[in-house]
Structures are given as structure tokens and as C-alpha cells.
């Protein structure tokens, strides 16, 4: 089994771990793994490194970073026989938490190297052709991501401060949502489309969502003031947001989000300018991903021994 660790030294906790690469190299040596380690040097470099790992015949490519690093690496592994492993080091780690992947460094590395680890086949999504693996969003959702990505120091406390600042400057917009054989016109604060059930840190934006059901979960939040935001945030962390009268929810394989004009969206926390119309689609069982034994998610089909990893 050939493994490639891809480390983003600037992700979340990694920025405070100058010793991380050496720690992983020692882990590789101690376990006598057929593995190598490379580090990213900037945006989109992780995708290039993951493609190189596929070309080298790696069976597993391990993302050591946050949601952005995960997204870049997973893009290269779509529809390939290689499995993605996660060593979560970001601020949210929503997909890892949803799947029960350890967030502690030693346990996450042990899972990545465990030949008995399950390989799951999970759904993925695209928003106007841009892949996402945990969640995408527009409106307030995307504005928080834009502000958060500019911070030198991150974490849950920084995210909360950023959210409060963005909320004070919030704007809502008319949105028409098409999906599931219906269309709904709403005044929205944000629209999120989730693959897993949560953003991260236990904030469950789509309770009950699954990554292996061939569907995505759309959650639109109507405008609220300070008084209305407090119970909504409580519901978010209690996993009860769907019961709020301010929330509209749909489940489906494809959505069209029609906004009043072009604007910002995010995919797994990375922001992009795009047109007024946002098409969101699911791609069933399109990514192989390592999960702990016992995780309730569909298993991937076995890879034939002579199957060469195609370059994306």
C-alpha cells in the first residue's frame, strides 16, 4: 500500500506546528510505511500534488489540513481508485466530524495508515461546476467565509467574532429556489447546500443529511434580527435548525438557486464570484474516502489489482 501525505503548513492548527512535517516523517519511519510527504506552497498546489500522487500509483492520498486543503486534494481524486484520508487540522473539519474521523493528530494518522480501515464511497457536489465535498453556500454564508479567509489567526473564537461582524453588516436578497419538482421564492439571509450534516465544530446546518444517499440538502434561512438569531444559533448547535419557522429545507439531486444578480458563493469555505444563477448537483459515490471501522456509510467497490489510477 503506497501512501502520500500532503501537508498544508498554513492550515488552522498547522500554522502553530512547525514540527508537524518531521513528526509525520517519524511516524512513517516508525511504522515502515511505503509513504512520502510533500508540503503545499500556495493555493491550488494541493491539487497538483494529489495528481502527482495518482501518477505515482499511490493507493491513499492523505490531506493534512483544513477543509480547503481537503477540497483541493479531493478534486484530483474524484472517480479515481485512490482513497482520500483526512488528518483534520482546520477550524471546522465538518466532513471529518460527520464521518467520525478522529480529530486528534495521532489517531488520525493511525487511521490513515491502517490497512483495515474502511474505504467508503461518498457523494460529492458541484456548484456551477466547482466541486465541494462538505457544503457550499451563498449570501451571509459566503460573506463569513470571505472575511474568515482573510484572518491571519483562525479558530472557533475567531469564527464567532467574524460571524458577529458580518451579521451587523448583513444583507438579505430575494432568491428563487428550484428543486424537487417545485419552485419557492424567498427573502433569504443565506442559502446552504450540504452533503454532510454540519459546517463543523458541531454546528449542524442539515440534521439528518447523509453523504451516501445520492442527494444533497438545501437549507435557506430567512432574514432575522439579533433577537431571532440567538435561538437560531442554539438550534444550529442542538441539531434542531430544521424546526425553525425561519428555515426552508429541500432534499434533492439538483437545485437551481436564482439570485437577483451575480455574487459570492463558497465551496467548503473557499469563496468565488459567480453568476446570478447557481446550479448545484450531486455526483453519487464519486469519491473514495477512509473512515473508521463501524462508520455507517456505504462501502466502496473493490479496486481491481490491475486498475491504474487515471489522471483527472
Task: Output DSSP code: residue 246.
Answer: T
What pLDDT is stored for residue 97 in this prediction?
94
All residues at 6 or more sequence positions from 159 whose CB lies less than 8 Å from its CB, including other chains: 91, 92, 144, 148, 201
What pLDDT is stored for residue 200 in this prediction?
85
The 10s digit of each residue's pLDDT in 136-195 is 999 988 888 787 666 656 556 666 677 666 676 678 899 999 998 899 999 999 999 999
What pLDDT is stored for residue 191 in this prediction?
96
What pLDDT is stored for residue 260 in this prediction?
93
3-state secondary structure of 124: strand
Cα-Cα-Cα-Cα dihedral sign, residues 9, 46, 155, 204? negative
Alpha-carbon distance of 177 to 186, in angstroms, equals 8
The 10s digit of each residue's pLDDT in 4-36 is 999 998 776 666 677 899 999 999 999 999 999
3-state secondary structure of 283: strand
What pLDDT is stored for residue 156 in this prediction?
60
Query: Domains in the chain, please, with CATH?
Result: 2-125+285-291 (3.40.50.10330), 130-284 (2.60.200.40)
- Written as nine digits, the cell of 305 is 489489482
Give every residue of the chain whose pLDDT is below 70, as ranges.
Answer: 12-16, 148-160, 163-166, 168-169, 304-312
**Main-chain phi, psi angles of 264, to 5 degrees:** -90, 145
What pLDDT is stored for residue 195 in this prediction?
97
**What's the whole-model pTM score?**
0.90
DSSP class per residue in 140-199: HHHHHHHHHHT-SS-SHHHHHHHHHHHHHT---EEEEEEETTEEEEEEESEEEEESSS-S
**Main-chain phi, psi angles of 174, to 5 degrees:** -75, 135
Burial of 132 (0-12, 13-18, 19+ CB in 10 A): buried
Amino acid at each position: 500500500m503506497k501512501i502520500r501525505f500532503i501537508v498544508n503548513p498554513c492550515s488552522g492548527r498547522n500554522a502553530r506546528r512547525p514540527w508537524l512535517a518531521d513528526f509525520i516523517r517519524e511516524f512513517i519511519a516508525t511504522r515502515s510505511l511505503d509513504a512520502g510527504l510533500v508540503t503545499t506552497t500556495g493555493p491550488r498546489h494541493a491539487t497538483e500534488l494529489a495528481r502527482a500522487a495518482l501518477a505515482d500509483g499511490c493507493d491513499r492520498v492523505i490531506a493534512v489540513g483544513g477543509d480547503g486543503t481537503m477540497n483541493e486534494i479531493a478534486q484530483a481524486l474524484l472517480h479515481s481508485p485512490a482513497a482520500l484520508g483526512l488528518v483534520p487540522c482546520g477550524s471546522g473539519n465538518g466532513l471529518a466530524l460527520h464521518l467520525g474521523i478522529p480529530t486528534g493528530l495521532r489517531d488520525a494518522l493511525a487511521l490513515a495508515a491502517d490497512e483495515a480501515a474502511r474505504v467508503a464511497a461518498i457523494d460529492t457536489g458541484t456548484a456551477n461546476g466547482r466541486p465541494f465535498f462538505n457544503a457550499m453556500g451563498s449570501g451571509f454564508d459566503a460573506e463569513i467565509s470571505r472575511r474568515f479567509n482573510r484572518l491571519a489567526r483562525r479558530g472557533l473564537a475567531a469564527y464567532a467574532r467574524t460571524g458577529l461582524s458580518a451579521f451587523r453588516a448583513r444583507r438579505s436578497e430575494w432568491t428563487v429556489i428550484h428543486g424537487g419538482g417545485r419552485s419557492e421564492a424567498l427573502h433569504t439571509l443565506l442559502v446552504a447546500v450540504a452533503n454532510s450534516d454540519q459546517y463543523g465544530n458541531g454546528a449542524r446546518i442539515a440534521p439528518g443529511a447523509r453523504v451516501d444517499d445520492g442527494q444533497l440538502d438545501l437549507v435557506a434561512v430567512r432574514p432575522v434580527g439579533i433577537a431571532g438569531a440567538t435561538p437560531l444559533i442554539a438550534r444550529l448547535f442542538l441539531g434542531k435548525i430544521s424546526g425553525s419557522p425561519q428555515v426552508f429545507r429541500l432534499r434533492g439531486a439538483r437545485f437551481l438557486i436564482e439570485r437577483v444578480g451575480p455574487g459570492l458563493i463558497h465551496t467548503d469555505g473557499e469563496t468565488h464570484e459567480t453568476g446570478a444563477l447557481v446550479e448545484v448537483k450531486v455526483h453519487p459515490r464519486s469519491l473514495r474516502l477512509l473512515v473508521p471501522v463501524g462508520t455507517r456509510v456505504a462501502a466502496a467497490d473493490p479496486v481491481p489489482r490491475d486498475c491504474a489510477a487515471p489522471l483527472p
